[in-house]
Amino acid sequence: MKILVLNPGSSSMKSAVYEMPGEKRAAEGEVDAVGVRVVHGGSRFETPAIVDDAVLDEIGKLSALAPLHNPLAVKAIEDVRRERAGIPIVAVFDTAFHRTLPPVASTYAIPQDLGIRRYGFHGISYSYVSKRLHALDAGDKLIVAHLGNGASVCAIRGGRSIDTSMGFTPMEGLVMGTRAGDLDPGAILYLLRNGATDLDDLLNHRSGLLGLSGITGDVRELSASSDPNAQLALDVFAYRAAKYIASYCAALDGVDAIAFTAGIGEHSASMRQRICERLRFLDVILDDAANRAPRTDERRISAGRVGVWVIPTNEELEIARSTYEVLSA
Ligand code: AMP
């Protein structure tokens, strides 16, 4: 089965074609099915779904929870339906991998009848990386740091997500390229009381590494800059990531391996070093030469008890797998 995968992002649309079940890349053109990444599946979608009118409608309604992301998926699906009428389309959700979050991890300390809970995101990437770590015999208690323009951390045990840093929306948790991550809700109330009208733009587009540095949200440029604010931005990013990783050792009752993935996680040796330096008390010791080696393949980069890995993610392949599974069931 030839599957076209669409992974719509804010600045670009990643696409790939896979011949399944062999998992070989294929050329675009005639395909048998389309798999589309959808960021927010809410409580409604815990598994991939074949898209019909009702499913598309639900994905559209979930745009309220992921206004930057779900509308892109809706548009991608509508385009496919117009251009390839009748082709089966499967929606694959970033939230689905986190359906196993235990109540202690999925619950906020607010009245439960509000219907606000933690969902978690980047699940397609975590599912792929978790399978790779299993194949590499990396252990049972895993912490994966998906550090890209959007960034999160996930604690995985027995292949199941047990905690993750993004919550009700993809805004909670780590410092990101332009998203603030964790912030005192009191600060938001303060800004609202003082007349702020552009909080969405502020917290999604003008915060994070960009807001901290005042320069850019791109780790490449910040790493090359001698501006003290650039260095502060990188330090706050690393400090927050290290705190989450350390706290997930409590969630997992230990840790066997930590894996870095996505743009920053895969490519920034200096960011991996900044983070791991704060985790030495856990016996997280980087092999400096392995960390700095100019390689792009998956590899172990640690010298201590805890395995540290770089695992290039492949969301497109994971979406192709899910699409194939649903359509061949
Ligand atoms: P992603 O969202 O996974 O595509 O990651 C994008 C981010 O990865 C960029 O904004 C950069 O901050 C970071 N990145 C990509 N390539 C590199 C690199 N060679 N060194 C450091 N950071 C990088």
- Pick from 117, 162, 166, 160: which is nearest to 146 by CA? 166
Q: Tell me whether domains 2-99+315-328 and 137-310 share a fold.
A: yes
Tell me if 175 sits within 8 A of 208, measured CB to CB: yes
Please state the atom number of ligand 1 nearest to the C-alpha of residue 219. 12
What pLDDT shows up at residue 285?
97
Q: By percentage, how much of the chain surpasses pLDDT 70?
A: 100
What pLDDT shows up at residue 206?
97
The pLDDT of 117-141, averaged and rounded, is 98
The pLDDT of 118-137, averaged and rounded, is 98
The answer on pLDDT for 10 being more than 80 is no
Q: How many Å lie between the centroid of ligand 1 and the Cα of residue 285? A: 23
What pLDDT shows up at residue 29?
86
What pLDDT shows up at residue 184?
98
Q: How many Å lie between the centroid of ligand 1 and the Cα of residue 27? A: 26
* Ligand 1 mutation target, pool 14, 223, 234, 268, most atoms within 8 A of CB: 268
pLDDT per position as a tens digit, 73-108: 999 999 999 999 999 999 999 999 999 999 999 999
> Between 3.40.50.720, 3.30.420.40, 3.30.200.20, 3.40.50.150, what CATH number should domain 2-99+315-328 receive?
3.30.420.40
Domain definitions of the chain by residue range:
2-99+315-328, 137-310
The answer on pLDDT for 271 being more than 90 is yes
Using CB distances shorter than 6 Å, the residues near ligand 1 are: 148-149, 177, 218-220, 262-264, 267-268
What pLDDT shows up at residue 11?
78
The pLDDT of 54-59, averaged and rounded, is 98
The pLDDT of 215-244, averaged and rounded, is 98
Q: Label the pairing between strands 13-19 and 2-8.
A: antiparallel
pLDDT band at 150 (very low <50, low <70, confident <90, very high): very high
Q: At what angle do helices 123-135 and 315-327 cross, to 10 degrees?
A: 90
Burial class (CB in 10 A: 0-12, 13-18, 19+), 238: buried
What pLDDT shows up at residue 12?
85
pLDDT per position as a tens digit, 272-285: 999 999 999 999 99
Q: How many Å lie between the centroid of ligand 1 and the Cα of residue 191? A: 31
94 catalytic, yes or no?
yes
* DSSP secondary structure string for all residues of 133-184: HHHTT--SEEEEEEESSSEEEEEEETTEEEEES--SSTTSSS--SS---S--
- 94, 198, 201, 253: the catalytic one is 94
Beta strands in the chain (DSSP E): 2-8, 13-19, 24-25, 33-38, 49-50, 89-93, 141-147, 151-157, 160-164, 257-261, 299-300, 307-310
Peptide bond preceding 111 in cis form (omega within 30 of 0): no
CA distance 223 to 30: 43
Written out in words, the top-level CATH class of the domain with range 137-310 is alpha beta
Count the Cβ atoms, other than its own, within 10 Å of residue 169. Answer: 20
The pLDDT of 221-237, averaged and rounded, is 98
